[in-house]
Chain A
Amino acid sequence: MADPTLLILSSLAGGEKHGYAMMVDIEHLSGARLGPGTLYGAISRLEQSGWIRPVKAQDDRRQPYALTPAGRAHLAEELGRLQRIVAAGQRRLKHA
């Protein structure tokens, strides 16, 4: 159910993070543990889409990423869409 790109964007909405910090944050946020392969597959797609960007790091092996304005807009749009689905689902459950 959990889309790794949405989880990464949500994690970065709380501030810039490097790969392992994202894995830990996502596990706290959603209970889902992303594998490093899945995480970096999604990071490379998000970077290509221009939704995240690498930021200057003190440790050059632990590269932090931050949301771009386009990424923030995309996250807001996706969360709004999910919210509408959740609201509709809950309404239907009440009347079922």
Chain B
Amino acid sequence: MSRRIRLVQAIARIVYPSAWRARYSREFDAVLEDCKPGVAVMLDVVKAGLAVRLHEPWGFLRVASVAALLGLLMASGIAFRIRDQYLSEATVRVAVPGEAIGRNVVAALSQENLKAIADRLRLFEQDRHHMSESVLVGRMKRSILISKGGQDGLVRVAFLYDDREKALEATREVLRLLTENSSSGALEVLDMPHQPGVPIYPNRLVIAAIGGFGGGTIGLMLAAIRRSRFARG
């Protein structure tokens, strides 16, 4: 017996309810062996099996539960593929709120300076071979977070990265550039950057919960559509 037949028979054992299997599985397996199943047969078996399940007592909720579980597993898989992101931050005070930090940022975070930081700290190393300079600089700019600051002149400077030590080093570099590009006394560092402890992103529990909820909702909708179609004809 081919692997494909065994695979479809295994899928059938999962999707069909036990009462149905007890009655039909022997002859159904024989038909699968005779008809040499391909992808179309596999899809047909899944679709028909779910339709049988929908008409069992509580079948509606079972289909939704299976969909929720699938959503949960998929979202968890995605969540664990996302790298942890660490945020290292510092606080500075600017002498002239708003305007001063704006001028410093433009001068300090030039394309040349950002590329130099990325090169020195070997940032985004795994993607560098297929990344142009402008893309690298764009990613650096997205990783640097500088708050607008309020009337008190306090500004948060931070760097977001998937390595806590590099996040700290990059924040230090950005702070150094801002300080070097500001006139004496225009910028005062109040809180030096520190090495982040826990990642700020991703919240895997929330992603998994969204996946489970989304899967369950889609499952309920599909089950409702399938049931209404069956009722009509």
Contact residues of A with B, CB < 8 Å? 18-20, 23, 35-41, 43-44, 59-63
What are 23 inter-chain pairs, A to B, with CB distance below 8 A?
Answer: A18-B30, A18-B31, A19-B28, A19-B30, A20-B31, A23-B31, A35-B40, A35-B48, A36-B32, A36-B35, A37-B41, A37-B44, A37-B45, A38-B47, A40-B24, A40-B28, A40-B31, A41-B48, A59-B30, A61-B27, A61-B29, A61-B30, A62-B30
- Cβ–Cβ contact B28 & A41, under 8 A: no
- Cβ–Cβ contact B48 & A20, under 8 A: no
- Cβ–Cβ contact A35 & B45, under 8 A: yes
* A59, B24: Cα distance in complex, Å: 14
* A40, B41: Cα distance in complex, Å: 12
- Cβ–Cβ contact B47 & A37, under 8 A: yes
Select from chain A the residue with minimum beta-carbon distance to B49.
Answer: A37
Min Cβ gap B226→A in Å is 12
Min Cβ gap A47→B in Å is 9
A20 partner, pick from B34, B43, B46, beta carbons under 8 A: B34
* A38, B44: Cα distance in complex, Å: 7
A20 to chain B: which residues have CB within 8 Å? Answer: 30-31, 34-35
Min Cβ gap A17→B in Å is 11
B200 within 8 A of A: no
A39 partner, pick from B29, B31, B37, B47, beta carbons under 8 A: B31
If A23-B35, A36-B45 touch, does A41 touch B30 (CB 8 Å cutoff)? no
If A20-B34, A23-B31, A61-B29 touch, does A44 touch B52 (CB 8 Å cutoff)? yes
B80 within 8 A of A: no
A18 to chain B: which residues have CB within 8 Å? Answer: 27, 30-31
B35 to chain A: which residues have CB within 8 Å? Answer: 20, 23, 36
B28 partner, pick from A23, A36, A59, beta carbons under 8 A: A36
- Cβ–Cβ contact A61 & B26, under 8 A: yes
* A81, B142: Cα distance in complex, Å: 68
* A72, B175: Cα distance in complex, Å: 87
B48 to chain A: which residues have CB within 8 Å? Answer: 35, 37-38, 40-41
Complex interface residues of chain B between 130 and 169 (CB less than 8 A to chain A) = none
Beta-carbon contacts of B11-31 to A below 8 Å, as 1s and 0s? 010000000100110111111
- Cβ–Cβ contact B27 & A41, under 8 A: no
Min Cβ gap A33→B in Å is 9
* A18, B35: Cα distance in complex, Å: 13
* A43, B25: Cα distance in complex, Å: 13
B51 within 8 A of A: yes
B43 to chain A: which residues have CB within 8 Å? Answer: 35
Select from chain A the residue with minimum beta-carbon distance to B8.
Answer: A36
- Cβ–Cβ contact A63 & B44, under 8 A: no
If A44-B20, A44-B24, A61-B26 touch, does A36 touch B31 (CB 8 Å cutoff)? yes
Complex interface residues of chain B between 91 and 131 (CB less than 8 A to chain A) = none
* A37, B48: Cα distance in complex, Å: 5
Beta-carbon contacts of B45-77 to A below 8 Å, as 1s and 0s? 111110110000000000000000000000000
- Cβ–Cβ contact A19 & B27, under 8 A: yes
Select from chain B the residue with minimum beta-carbon distance to A35.
Answer: B44
